[in-house]
Amino acid sequence: MKNRSSSSRHARLAALVVLSAAGAIHAEPAASDTARISVLVGPLRSGNGSVGCRLYTSSDGFPRTARGTQNVRVKVTGKSARCVFEKLKPGTYAVTVHHDENDNRKFDTNFVGMPLEGYGVSNNHTYAMSAPRWDESKVVVDAGKQLELGVSVRY
């Protein structure tokens, strides 16, 4: 009886080693555990350049720095563009967008710091004289869900 028990334990241990080596134990979370945010940006004033979208994972640095962000850049082909952020952990996020019409990868401003190119933020709370606030811009995405955001561009 002792030998059978010992053999059974060895067999289970061997199976675990094989499964672990094959990646079955430490596999990525199932698709239903992750979330997706799709951002439709527009209307754009021209079909020039590209649109940059930045996904913030917290209020830290929002909306001015790239700290704690994911970035997506798409070429403009019409009066709108779509940025997609996939395989996200469920949580709270905010998105900023920038229509980089001259495609220089900079957010162009005039001599007093006023934007010369289009910009926007999730929940569409933009201001002419101040930056958007995290508490007005944040969105919550649940596991296994796709969130569709429409972001208006302000010029």
CATH of the domain at 59: 2.60.40.1120
**Do residues 100 and 137 both lie within one domain?**
yes
**Do residues 64 and 86 both lie within one domain?**
yes
What distances in angstroms separate CA 107 from CA 39, 69, 101, 153, one per listed residue? 19, 17, 10, 14
- Beta-bridged to residue 146, according to DSSP, are 36
pLDDT higher than threshold 80 for residue 92: yes
> What residue numbers bound the domain in which 20 lies?
1-28
CA-nearest of 127, 125, 105, 109 to 117 is: 109
Each residue's pLDDT tens digit, 29-72 = 445 789 999 999 999 999 999 999 999 999 999 998 888 799 99
pLDDT higher than threshold 80 for residue 5: no
Q: Taking CA 52 as the corner, what is the angle to CA 59 and CA 140, rounded to the nearest 5 degrees?
A: 40
Domain count, the chain: 2
